[in-house]
Amino acid sequence: MIVEQIGGCVSFCLEAAGVFFRRGVSRREVFLQIWRVTIQSLPTTAMAGFFVGAIMTVQFTMQVQAYGALGYLGGLSTSATIRQVGPLLIAFMLSGKVGAFTAAELGTMRVTEQIDAIRCLGANPFQELILPRFIAIIISSFALLAAGLLMSVAGGALMGALFSGINLDEYLRHVPTIVTLPSIATGLLKCVVFAVVLASICTYKGYTASGGARGVGQAVVETAVATMVSLVAADWATSLIADTVIQLVLSAGGAVG
Tell me: the pLDDT tens digits for 96-149?
Answer: 888 888 999 999 999 998 888 888 888 888 988 899 999 998 888 888 888 888
Tens of pLDDT, residue by residue, the chain (257 residues): 678 888 888 899 998 899 888 888 888 989 998 998 888 888 888 888 888 888 888 888 877 877 777 778 888 888 888 877 778 877 888 888 888 889 999 999 999 988 888 888 888 889 888 999 999 988 888 888 888 888 888 888 888 888 877 878 888 887 888 888 888 888 888 888 988 999 999 999 999 988 888 889 999 999 989 999 999 999 889 888 887 887 777 677 655 55
Contact 49, 73 (CB under 8 A): no
Contacts with 98 (C-beta within 8 Å, 6 or more apart), sequence order: 37, 40, 41, 137, 140, 141, 198, 202
**Interatomic CA distance for residues 216 and 65, integer angstroms:** 51
pLDDT at 254: 58
pLDDT at 42: 85
pTM for the structure as a whole: 0.85
